[in-house]
Amino acid sequence: MLNIIHLNKFYDERGHLYVIDDLNKFLPKIKRFYFINFPLKNIKRGFHAHKDLSQIIFTIRGVLEIFIENQNYKKKIKLNTGEGILINKYTWREIESLESDSILGCLCTNSFDPNDYINSYKIFKSQL
């Protein structure tokens, strides 16, 4: 099942605070965090799946459209600021910025390992 994660939001005159509480209900361990700045609208990234890694991708700023596919679903979802999605292993992802200056944040269960990537859609489909 595919669920959008809505970060808790707190606003006051000092700005906006977005929080994901109780991360272990989504990911049992987090070993890596990164973020990507999309300086322009319609920039596309991703185009891969992971053999072992699961991750939460969330929008820090802007709007992102994420195409995801695995053995259970094939879907495009739009993530606004403060929304995220859990992407488990063996899930293909393609990410597009729908606004300039969008920022994606990512929490990962594993450190970077180039051998964990499936970069060919054809190979990914053959392994489902």
pLDDT digits over 55-110, tens only?
Answer: 999 999 999 999 999 999 999 999 999 999 999 999 999 999 999 999 999 999 99
Token output for 104: 């994606």
CA distances from 115 to 51, 71, 86, 106, 119 (A): 9, 21, 21, 19, 10
Q: What is the mean pLDDT of residues 108-118?
A: 97
The torsion angles phi and psi of 77, rounded to 5 degrees, stand at -130, 150
pLDDT at residue 6 in the model: 85
User: What is the CATH architecture assignment of 4-126?
Assistant: Sandwich (2.60)
Q: Work out the end-to-end distance of the chain between its first and last CA atoms, rounded to an integer number of angstroms.
A: 17
pLDDT at residue 57 in the model: 96
Contacts of 48 (CB under 8 A, 6+ apart): 92, 93, 117, 118, 119
Listed range (18-22, 46-50, 83-87) with the worst mean pLDDT: 18-22
Confidence of residue 1 (pLDDT cuts 50, 70, 90): low
pLDDT at residue 67 in the model: 97
